[in-house]
């Protein structure tokens, strides 16, 4: 009897101790407060990412927020028949588009950095003969990772009117293939060398779902404007500047030097620099319809 009584007392003590331990692990406060505390802890655990640092050190140059903005941006602008740009819902909005041809030669990356520092965008129209080496390909990747759309300016910058249809197609499609190989997407904009298209090149651009584009004005190939000061002045103060103007520049040392002053001068005159990702193209129009 005594032994049975002792065992019963011992078991009661052990159970009491286990119960005390369990109580110690529970949240303090009223039952409602405890429930709320547990729910908060569970929610925090669910929201905690599985891995820290979605962007690795190798990807640190990629502006993730800008990339998401490019993907999510709905077209707000359209190109008119004279190659100017217009706000679809507000035609009177004072806007201009910046474009840079013959990239990525020696200055395109620096020009992209200048534009990024100023928080504005431009289309970089590239030539395939500037993408033949791994180093050149890396430059293009960096420009794209900074959020700039890549346009097609043909592989070898030859006048399309001097080429056969087969050669024209190769100039355009081979470059699209090369750009896609490097950045994972095909260009949505096409500009022919010297602005000279053929009926066939227009059809190829349409088949490739690219927006055919020329320009409103540009000066940096003229001898009188191959300096920072002269180019910045004419690009901002030309009588050709107007609402929707499509500005042509090139991958040139003097253009790179003048680029910051050109952007600031345009903005001081009340012009907004259009984000090309918001221009309606055959490609994004088709995507929106799906």
pTM of the model: 0.75
The second-level CATH assignment, the architecture, of 94-289 is: Alpha-Beta Barrel (3.20)
How many whole angstroms from its chain centre is CA 271? 21
Residue 39 predicted with pLDDT over 50: no
Residue 96 predicted with pLDDT over 50: yes
Residue 49 backbone dihedrals phi, psi, to 5 degrees: -65, 150
Predicted pLDDT at 287 = 72
ω into residue 104 within 30 of 0, thus cis?
Answer: yes
Using a 10 angstrom Cβ sphere, with 0-12 exposed, 13-18 middle and 19 or more buried, the burial of residue 174 is middle
Domain boundaries, the chain: 94-289
Residue 214 predicted with pLDDT over 70: yes
Tens digits of per-residue pLDDT, 121-159? 999 999 999 999 999 999 999 999 999 999 999 999 999
* CA pair distance 257, 247, nearest whole angstrom: 16
Average pLDDT, the chain: 82
């Amino acid at each position: 009897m005594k032994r049975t009584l002792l065992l019963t007392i011992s078991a009661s003590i052990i159970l009491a101790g286990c119960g005390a331990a369990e109580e110690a692990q529970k949240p303090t406060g009223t039952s409602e407060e405890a429930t709320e505390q547990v729910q908060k802890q569970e929610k925090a655990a669910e929201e905690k990412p599985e891995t820290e640092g979605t962007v690795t050190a190798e990807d640190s140059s990629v502006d993730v927020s800008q990339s998401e903005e490019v993907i999510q941006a709905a077209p707000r602008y359209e190109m008119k028949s004279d190659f100017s740009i217009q706000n679809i819902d507000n035609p009177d909005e004072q806007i201009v588009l910046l474009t840079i041809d013959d990239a990525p030669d020696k200055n395109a990356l620096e020009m992209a950095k200048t534009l990024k520092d100023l928080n504005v965008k431009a289309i970089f129209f590239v030539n395939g003969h500037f993408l033949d080496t791994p180093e050149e390909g890396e430059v293009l990747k960096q420009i794209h990772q900074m959020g700039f759309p890549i346009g097609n300016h043909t592989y070898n910058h030859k006048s399309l009117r001097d080429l056969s249809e087969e050669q024209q197609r190769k100039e355009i499609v081979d470059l699209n293939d090369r750009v896609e190989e490097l950045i994972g997407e095909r260009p949505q904009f096409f500009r022919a060398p010297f602005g000279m298209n053929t009926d066939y090149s227009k059809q190829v651009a349409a088949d490739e779902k690219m927006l055919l584009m020329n320009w409103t004005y540009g000066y940096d190939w003229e001898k009188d404007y191959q300096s920072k000061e002269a180019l910045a002045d004419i690009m901002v103060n030309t009588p050709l500047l107007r609402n929707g103007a499509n500005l042509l520049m090139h991958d040139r040392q003097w253009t790179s030097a003048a680029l910051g002053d050109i952007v600031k001068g345009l903005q001081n005159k009340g012009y907004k620099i259009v984000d090309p990702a918001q221009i309606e193209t055959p490609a994004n129009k088709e995507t929106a319809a799906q």
